[in-house]
Structure formats: C-alpha cells, structure tokens
C-alpha cells in the first residue's frame, strides 16, 4: 500500500476532502501540520509535526520520519507547503516539482520575471519596497495599476489604483496588512515588498490542471461571470464548463501550459488565473496547488471521482489520462463578506438549499467569528454548490440561493 504525506496547515479547508479521497483509494495517509496533535504519540505513523515556517527544517524532520516510515508521495495544499513538499521530495529522491519551480510559483514577482523573459503576456510590473516613499514611484507606474503583496493569496492585499493618490493609499493599506506579526513571519523579507503592475482590462477565468511527466493537462476551465475591475478583487462565482468560444478556450489552455513549462513545473496540480481581452490571454497567476477552499467540491470526474482522488492517483504514479470531468455543468459561489464585524446569525439557509439545482450550501464561518472582507480579509462566509444541465442554469441557481441568505453582522 502506497504511503502519502499530506501537508495540511491547521487553517486549511482541505483536510477532510483529502482524507476521504485517500480512504476511498485505500492509500496509507500521513497528515503533517505545523502544530502538534494530542494524538501524535498514540499514532506516530499517521501524524507528523513539521516546522512550516522553516522549509529546510521541515525537510529534515520529514526525512527523519521517512527513515522509519517510508513515504511514496507528497501532496501540498498551498503555496507555502508546495515549497516544503519539493524540498522533502528532493531529500527523499521522490518525483516532484523542482524546488526552484515552487519558489517561483509562490513569489509573484519572480513569476513575472520568468514569464516575461519567455515573452509571455504578463502585465508590466515593478517591485517596490513598502519602506520607500510612493512619490518616488510616480513616474515609473502606468495607471490604472494593481498593488499586491508578493507572497499572499486569496486576493488578500490586492488593490487597484487609478492615480498617484490612490497608489499611495493602497501602499499604506498594504503596509498595515503585512505588518500583522503572523503575516510578517510568513512572508519574511518578502513582507516588505510589493508588486505594482498595470491593470489588464478584460474578463477572468480560472484553469484547473494536472501535470504528469512535465505535460500539462486541463481538468476544467472556470468562467468568472462577476467582473473583477477593483478597487478590490474578491472572487465570487466559478462556473464550468466555460461558455467561451472553443478557439478562445484552446488559447487559454495553450497559454497556461506554456507558463507551467516556463516556470519548470513537472508534476502535480496547477491552479491558474488568467485575464482575457482582444490581445488574448494574460497570465495573472500560476500556483503549484489545486483550487482553494471547498471549491474542489464543484468538480467530479468519471461519475463520482473527486479532484483530491485525481491528485492522489497522479502523486502515486497511477495513470489519470482516462479521467475526464463529468458532462453536467457545475459551479460554486464563494460567499463574500459584505462588511467587517462579528457574525451573529445566518438567515435563509433552508430557503437557499431548496433552490432548484442547488446541491449544497456550506457556511464555513462560525457564529461569533470576527470576519473581514478583502483586501484585509482572506476568507469567505461559506460556499454554495450547484449542478445542472447548462452553465447558465448553474449561475442563476447560485445567484438565487445567495439572494436568500442574510448575514447578521455586528
């Protein structure tokens, strides 16, 4: 039986989905997180604590574990653990993404440099220090522009600026965000850097894919029907299959595949974000991980195979070439946070769940939780899932279900 090491931060939504997938596949699982479990002594073979804040130390800890309990594959769930997974795979001589490729995927500035050097369509960009006065940047920036942290995800800290004054405000706001001790520790020296890039007009799509032996394969293209023009960029609805013309979809896939090759990614899941306009697809981000949150529940393959099962199969060397997404349309709404405060009550949940074509409504925020929308926040109130015959039916169902929900926030 293959033994798979899952790198699961305590804050991830993905634990249950991966554990369920492993049990279904009858794969031996070791779960590793950054905080020790009270059950670790009783189950030293199945639970492991790794120092996620220090990838080199985490790699040594994993190697010591593997000396007693051999590991066949490693699966990360976010950008930070992707780097750790690559380091562990390197010391254990396991097939995985190269370390440098995962570092490139985590560092948005480095990613821009690599893709730009290959002649790919990326926004013009400049790396700035948050300790530098914004006046110095005025002549170097094309407006409108987008300010973003180099290392964060989930649209956290991402803001549009239309002029010098808005740029100064955005940089100050980002400075406050990354000055949080937890974020500062996570980012290290990158926490004092910001990427300022030209705003690319057009619509956005997300691409979910899988790399095997260096070859990229698309699993799904998600339309994002809600416009993402700023001033902040909180994502809401994902719908698949895409309603774009097939020629446009082919170009999106070709661009994503080219980006993965340029970055040196060779194995595992990929989640990419692209903007599309009359000039074609522009790469916004390529992450060496699967789609975040609970969104993977919107994807099913060959009937009832989950995305996590596909990822595990690929990791342990089983063929996934015959696996295809289901024929029906599907989608997810990441329920946005309307304002900052304390969540007191959720109303209309039963009505939302009874909307035709709604599969499930999951409220992931808990009552009394302090919540905050982007750019400071990095989470959602919950997730709404739909399946139907067409993407239009899915989108309408998601919007109707959301309209039935009311969140009481102090």
pLDDT tens digits for range 101-147: 999 999 999 999 999 999 999 999 999 999 887 677 767 788 999 99
Nearest to 376 by CA among 227, 176, 196: 176
Q: What pLDDT does 36 receive?
A: 72
Ramachandran angles phi, psi of 88, nearest 5°: -65, -45
Q: What pLDDT does 41 receive?
A: 53
Residue 42 CB contacts under 8 Å (≥ 6 apart), including other chains = none
Domain 3-104 and domain 329-410, same fold? Reply is no
- Number of C-beta neighbours around residue 338 at 10 A: 11
Length of the chain: 410
Looking at domain 329-410, its CATH superfamily turns out to be ATP-grasp fold, B domain (3.30.470.20)
Q: What pLDDT does 198 receive?
A: 96
pTM, 2 dp: 0.94
The CATH number of the domain covering residues in 3-104: 3.40.50.20
Pairing mode, if any, of strands 145-149 and 193-198? antiparallel
Q: What angle do CA 287, 288, 293 make, to 5 degrees?
A: 70
**What is residue 253's three-state secondary structure?**
helix
Nearest to 345 by CA among 365, 329, 362: 365
Which stretches of 209-284 are DSSP H helices?
246-263
Looking at domain 124-198, its CATH superfamily turns out to be ATP-grasp fold, A domain (3.30.1490.20)
- Concatenated DSSP letters of 282-331: EEEEEESS---TTGGGG-EETTTEEHHHHHHHHHTT---TT--B-SSEEE
Burial class of residue 93 in the structure, from the number of CB atoms within 10 Å of its CB (0-12 exposed, 13-18 middle, 19+ buried): exposed
Q: Could you report the average pLDDT of every consecutive run of 10 residues in the chain (410 residues)?
A: 91 88 93 73 73 90 92 90 94 95 96 97 94 74 93 92 93 95 88 95 98 97 96 96 98 98 98 97 97 94 95 96 96 97 98 98 96 94 98 98 97
- Spatial separation of the C-alpha atoms in residues 62 and 70, rounded to whole Å: 10
Residue with token string 């956290």: 156
Domain ranges of the chain: 3-104, 124-198, 329-410
Q: What pLDDT does 303 receive?
A: 82
């Amino acid at each position: 039986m293959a033994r798979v090491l899952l790198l699961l931060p305590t804050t991830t939504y993905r634990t249950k989905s991966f554990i369920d997938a492993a049990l279904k596949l009858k794969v031996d699982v070791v779960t590793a997180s950054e905080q020790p479990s009270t059950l670790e002594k009783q189950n030293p073979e199945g639970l492991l604590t790794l120092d996620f804040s220090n990838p080199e130390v985490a790699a040594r800890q994993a190697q010591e574990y593997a000396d007693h309990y051999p590991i066949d594959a490693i699966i990360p769930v976010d950008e930070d653990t992707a780097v750790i997974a690559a380091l562990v795979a390197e010391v254990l001589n396991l097939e995985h993404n190269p370390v440098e490729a995962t570092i490139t995927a985590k560092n948005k500035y480095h990613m821009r440099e690599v893709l730009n050097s290959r002649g790919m369509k990326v926004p013009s960009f400049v790396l700035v220090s948050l300790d530098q006065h914004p006046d110095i940047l005025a002549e170097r920036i094309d407006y409108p522009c987008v300010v973003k942290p180099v290392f964060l995800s989930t649209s956290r800290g991402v803001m549009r600026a239309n002029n010098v004054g808005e740029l100064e405000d955005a940089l100050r706001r980002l400075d406050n965000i990354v000055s949080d001790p937890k974020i500062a520790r996570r980012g290290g020296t990158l926490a004092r850097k910001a990427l300022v890039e030209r705003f690319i007009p057009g619509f956005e799509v997300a691409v979910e894919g899988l790399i095997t032996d260096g070859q990229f394969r698309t699993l799904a293209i998600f339309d994002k029907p809600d416009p993402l023009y700023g001033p902040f960029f909180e994502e809401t609805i994902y719908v698949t299959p895409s309603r774009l013309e097939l020629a446009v979809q082919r170009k999106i896939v070709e661009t994503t595949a080219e980006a993965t090759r340029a970055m040196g990614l060779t194995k595992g899941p990929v989640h990419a974000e692209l903007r599309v306009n009359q000039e074609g697809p522009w790469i916004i981000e390529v992450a060496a991980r699967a789609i975040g949150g609970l969104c993977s529940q919107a994807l099913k393959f060959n009937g009832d195979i989950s995305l996590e099962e596909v990822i595990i199969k690929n990791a342990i060397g089983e063929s996934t070439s015959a696996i295809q997404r289901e024929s029906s349309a599907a989608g997810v709404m990441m329920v946005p946070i309307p304002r900052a405060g304390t969540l007191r009550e959720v109303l209309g949940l039963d009505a939302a769940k009874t909307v035709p074509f709604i599969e499930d409504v999951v409220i992931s925020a808990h009552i009394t939780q302090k919540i905050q929308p982007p750019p400071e926040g990095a989470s959602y109130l919950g997730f709404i899932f739909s399946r139907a015959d067409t993407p239009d039916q899915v989108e309408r169902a998601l919007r109707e279900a959301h309209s039935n929900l009311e969140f009481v926030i102090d």
